[in-house]
Structure 1
Amino acid sequence: MTSATAPSLDELLGRAGPIIAERGLDYFKEGLVSALEVGPSSVQAWVKGSERYQVQLSKSAERLDFRCTCRHAADGNFCKHVVAVGLAWLEALEPGQAEADTDPDLEIRDWLNRQPQAELASLLFDIAMRDNALHRSLRLKIDLGKRSNGTSDGATDWYRAIDEATTVEEFLDWRQASSLGDDLLTLTDALEELLSPESAALLIELSEYAIPRVEQAREQVEESCEELEQALQRLTHLHLHACNLINPDPVELAERLFQLEMDENLDSFYNCARQYREVLGDSGLEHFRRLAQAEWRRVPTLTATDRPQYGGNRSCITRIMTTLAELDGDLDALVAIKAHDLTAAHHYLNIAQLYAEAGNSDMARHWAERGMAAFPHRTDNRLRDFLAQQYLLCGRDEQALQLTWVQFDEAPSLSNYQKLQGLAQRLQRASEQRQRALARLTGATENNPQSQANARSLRLAIALWEEDLDAAWLLSQQGDHRVELLHDLALKLESTRPIDAIGLYRRMLEPIIQQTNNQAYQRAIGLIRRMGTLMRAQQLDTAFTAELIKLRQTYKAKRNFIKLLDQLPRA
């Protein structure tokens, strides 16, 4: 039984979020928590990760406090090590949980403390030869250590340290990536010491070398790594701060920044013209612009009949040219850049929105109509919605309504019906358009059973949205419907028509239980609980007990479901 002073499982996992919670659960399951000491309202332990981390966790009525020696927690984040210790805390409070007489990890630590230094060094060397992450970390410490003991040969050792920290020879899972991220943060801490007028030039050079290598290493990581992303962000900031500190030659800086931003494999040097505008100054920005214009002249114009071109230099130079035009506040230049690629309907929309934001409704409508004409059969509904609003502004209500109606006609859905009704109400034509839409659902599916089922469910969804419970109930009795719709209807009927709500819950149980997984079983138990509450309120306790007995007989082969069912009170 969980102590009142310990966090609940939901509180622990909810604080962490799904990704961190899953990683913490893995640490806990693999037995990486050791030296657990449980107090009246707190716990402390060690967690074995890329290093050993000390964790403290305490719970009061108002808050859950934590501390971990890892870098992620140092930034105020609820880390995976804290989750693992929290789970160990909850397990330790379970009745019957045996306490080990001796912690195996502490035995190992005590044994190591008794060994001669030479034997420990030999043991560590053998492990490092088999463990790429440990080998990388030790090499990094050696290269960085040369700076403090006076044996460094300057930039060479820095480049070697960067190579050691960023070399990844195999694909890394998230645990191995955490070790890589720690090494990168160690490297970033050391580079940050170069942020001074005397060494800022070296810092600029090293960060321009390191950032692409870190981004390349990121491609070898299974999923996002917090430590790696932190290191990359800090390196990018260090580069900008170092440039601001010494104002390097603006033309040379512009040359390098342009090449970096034109590299489609790099994410860290987006919008350089904006980010480095002050340090570039007029001369640097002008050189950057000339480089961009020369590259832009090599990019072909694409029309609606051409195949789209994605990625590569085109996307990089388009972004650069867009940033420059935005800095200049030049609407015509922005339009010309966006009109360079008209291979999709939303490209026309982007131009129309520019004119709308500038207050030029005529040109906004003109470009939207051009997009509609260019893509009559593949029209983006966002373009239709935009043009409908423009038509409303100039009194062309019927055309606006037609643009909205065609969306429902092409793809009948609740969202498109709501959109249609919203406009119809604005035009005071809601009843007329409602009947038209419902007739569309009835008439167009007569010879197609699947379409009939879809239309029937949509009509039920519409009735629920319109709060027409009588119509919704009648529709619910006509064939099968999605469980979600029946559940929504049952909830709405509980207060006024509880017997009907009970019938709907009963009807939903079969398809849910037949999914045969624990999540579905939990959901079914939730429905049964609601049935029990409603039936007891109607003095149907005996009938509810009979329901439980019948369910047990029907699904006796589903053992996990039966275990949950047996926990429910019979009366």
Structure 2
Amino acid sequence: MRSFERGLGYLDAVSDLEVREHSVTAVVHGTNIYEVELTLGGDDGPSGWCDCPYGQEGNFCKHCVAVGLTMLRRAKTIPHQQIAARARASGLEAWLTALSRDELLALVREQIAEDHRLRRRLELRAAVARSDTDTVRDRILALIDPRPFARYEYADASRYAQQVAEAAAALRALTTDGQAMQALGLAEEAIRVLGEAYGEIDDSDGVVGQAAAAVAKAHLEACEAARTDPEHLAEWLVGQVLGDSNDVIDLDPLDYAEVLGPSGLARLRQLAAEAQRRRPSGWAEQHLMERLVEAEGDVDALVALYAQNLDPSGATHLRIAEELDSAGRADEALTWAEHGIRDCAAETYIDGRLVDYVCARYSEAGRPADVVGVRRNRFRVERSLAAYRQLRSAAQTAQCWEAERVAALAALREDARRAHGGRYGGPVLIDALLDDGDVDTAWREAAGLADDRQWEHLADLSRETRPAKALGVYLRLVERLKEPTGDRAYEHLARLLLGARDCHRALGTQEAFTDYLANLRAELKRRRKLMSILDRCGL
């Protein structure tokens, strides 16, 4: 649904639409220029491919949506274009088949002269075919060299990624051609260059990272074919995982488990343990050890590893509990989770999943009072609307909300008295009362405390029951919105005016609103976009 909505905004960006017999290709101009191909005739409708990052993950992206909608606009002409495409394809095939060898060579040479990317690919293939390792190395390193590109430029990332992908294809071709050892050395050199260059590339769309992953895959295939030394590979992998190169290529040593074998995995574990001893607080070192221990399936060793570096948010306690749960050790899991709740009791931020985990276990065990106790303790520290809602839900289940609410609101009143605002500025007290549906108390407490957002919410809830009070709020907020400009401000102003109109209708004073609106439009008539929005809203 999101891709469809975003694709609507790209209808005017579609160009070079070409209908083939069973597919449609087009170019979509967005942040970059993307190539799209839709395949027609499938049982589930058209399938799409796009070279944007989201599309390359196998998703039907907004660019595919834009091309598909463009096709629907031209639906009547598509069948005729498909017939014409079939005729063109048939004619091309017949012409190529009729050409002599010399004529085909002349045609290829002509294309090579005009298309430097095609020339590069064919030069690489030729070098691979004749085992010209020096040329292959030079071409691959030239493809990965970032210097021809303007560094830090977002637009250059896509072109650079295409070259990196070409280099990955050449490495895989070397392995297929029986030159796995050469491919292995070149892949490791390519990964080193990519690691050095990546920090200077704006890879916001992740296209370079995806191309680099193809280089890593080529390296793995070369390792498998070359039967590389397991211990040497383990040393190289640890260097990569703990070095800067892993920023661009997220290597997972366990992908190499079959190549490493028992001796390589043992060396990997030894090196990882040594690295962690040298730098016990290092994130990469900790993560590497966790991956290796997790793969070994030793739950106690994994728990001990996690316990060495407990996160103050309680996230690590939760990971331990989940591991123990998966191992069928539910009682130990709950003990660790409770331990985390106690350790983090004074923290303003605690991983909400840990709190939810403990509460869920208590609920399953028929311990509603304990659920209330956990939620109450978290509310005392957080004092947020979310914490208030969670306490309310737990206390209602335990049938003790009335007493809990009195205490919770008293704490929020004290916060409001001390001017402790909520996340959006106004005191949580007002949000809590509104969330409870206690509009009467909210009106009494709001004076001198509520912010504009809360006043508007209060007015929205009171159009029918307190139209005069709500009208005063809307008109005050409209006055504040006369100065700001832009679509968001104008849409907000229109919503306030619609609320004011409803209040006047409830009061039977529609003529007063008509006069007010006419004066407002006259005052702001130079703002054409605002006038258009008011017209659309029937104002």
TM-score (ref. length: structure 2): 0.70
Distance in 1, Cα, partners of 2:203 & 2:30: 17
Q: Check whether the contact 1:68–1:81 (CA below 8 A) recurs between aligned residues.
A: yes
Shift of 1:414: 0.7
- Residue in structure 2 matching 1:424, options 395, 398, 401: 395
Distance in 2, Cα, partners of 1:424 & 1:189: 61
> 2:259 matched to 1:279?
yes
Q: CA separation of 1:158/1:49 partners in 2, compared to 1, >3 Å: closer, same or farther?
A: farther
Q: Which amino acid aligns with 1:271?
A: D
> 2:26 matched to 1:14?
no
- Residue in structure 2 matching 1:256, options 211, 219, 236: 236
Distance in 2, Cα, partners of 1:526 & 1:412: 31
Distance in 2, Cα, partners of 1:50 & 1:453: 34
Q: Check whether the contact 2:187–2:215 (CA below 8 A) recurs between aligned residues.
A: yes
Matching residue of 1:217 = 197
Distance in 2, Cα, partners of 1:455 & 1:210: 52
Q: Check whether the contact 2:375–2:390 (CA below 8 A) recurs between aligned residues.
A: yes
> 2:167 matched to 1:181?
no
Q: Check whether the contact 1:140–1:161 (CA below 8 A) recurs between aligned residues.
A: no
Distance in 1, Cα, partners of 2:46 & 2:243: 44
Q: Which amino acid aligns with 1:324?
A: L
Question: Any stretches of 5+ residues in structure 2 without a counterpart?
Answer: 19-23, 74-112
Q: CA separation of 1:288/1:47 partners in 2, compared to 1, >3 Å: closer, same or farther?
A: closer
Within 5 Å, give how 1:34-433 maps onto structure 2. 78=61, 141-142=119-120, 145=123, 147-148=125-126, 154-169=132-147, 170-196=150-176, 198-245=178-225, 247-267=227-247, 268-273=249-254, 275-300=255-280, 309=281, 314-342=282-310, 344-346=312-314, 347-360=316-329, 363-364=332-333, 367=336, 377-378=346-347, 380-382=349-351, 401-433=372-404
Shift of 1:343: 6.4
> 2:437 matched to 1:467?
yes
Shift of 1:433: 0.4
What's the CA shift string for 1:263-308, capped at 9, x where partnerless? 24414344312x22233333332232233233344344xxxxxxxx
Matching residue of 2:110 = none
Q: Which amino acid aligns with 2:402?
A: S
Q: CA separation of 1:396/1:485 partners in 2, compared to 1, >3 Å: closer, same or farther?
A: same
Shift of 1:419: 1.8
What's the CA shift string for 1:118-172, capped at 9, x where partnerless? xxxxxxx9xxxxxxxxxxx959954861542789763322332232222224423
Matching residue of 2:491 = 522
SS of residue matched to 1:266: helix
Matching residue of 1:109 = none
Shift of 1:545: 2.4
Q: Check whether the contact 2:290–2:305 (CA below 8 A) recurs between aligned residues.
A: yes
Matching residue of 1:442 = 413
Distance in 2, Cα, partners of 1:71 & 1:566: 39
Q: Check whether the contact 1:56–1:68 (CA below 8 A) recurs between aligned residues.
A: yes
Distance in 1, Cα, partners of 2:223 & 2:194: 20
- Which one has a larger percent helix, Structure 1 or Structure 2? 2
Matching residue of 1:551 = 520
Q: Check whether the contact 1:414–1:462 (CA below 8 A) recurs between aligned residues.
A: yes
What's the CA shift string for 1:304-329, capped at 9, x where partnerless? xxxxx4xxxx3222222212221222
Q: Check whether the contact 2:3–2:65 (CA below 8 A) recurs between aligned residues.
A: no
Matching residue of 1:102 = none
Question: Any stretches of 5+ residues in structure 1 without a counterpart?
Answer: 1-9, 38-42, 91-124, 126-136, 301-308
Distance in 1, Cα, partners of 2:360 & 2:408: 21
SS of residue matched to 1:381: coil
Distance in 1, Cα, partners of 2:32 & 2:521: 50
Distance in 2, Cα, partners of 1:372 & 1:12: 40
RMSD: 5.1
Q: Check whether the contact 2:32–2:155 (CA below 8 A) recurs between aligned residues.
A: no
Question: Quick one: percent identity of the two aligned structures?
Answer: 27
Distance in 1, Cα, partners of 2:348 & 2:319: 14
SS of residue matched to 1:561: helix
Distance in 1, Cα, partners of 2:423 & 2:323: 43
Distance in 2, Cα, partners of 1:240 & 1:372: 43
Q: Check whether the contact 2:191–2:215 (CA below 8 A) recurs between aligned residues.
A: yes
Q: CA separation of 1:521/1:66 partners in 2, compared to 1, >3 Å: closer, same or farther?
A: farther
Distance in 2, Cα, partners of 1:49 & 1:418: 42
Deviates more, 1:503-512 or 1:46-55: 46-55
Equivalenced residues, count: 485
Matching residue of 1:103 = none
What's the CA shift string for 1:155-195, capped at 9, x where partnerless? 32233223222222442322222221222233333334335
Distance in 2, Cα, partners of 1:508 & 1:480: 16
Q: Which amino acid aligns with 2:159?
A: S
SS of residue matched to 2:479: helix
Matching residue of 1:96 = none
Within 5 Å, give how 1:440-519 maps onto structure 2. 440-446=411-417, 448-449=418-419, 457-472=427-442, 475=445, 478-479=447-448, 481-492=450-461, 504-519=473-488
What's the CA shift string for 1:364-421, capped at 9, x where partnerless? 4654566567666447533666666677788887776444323322332111111222
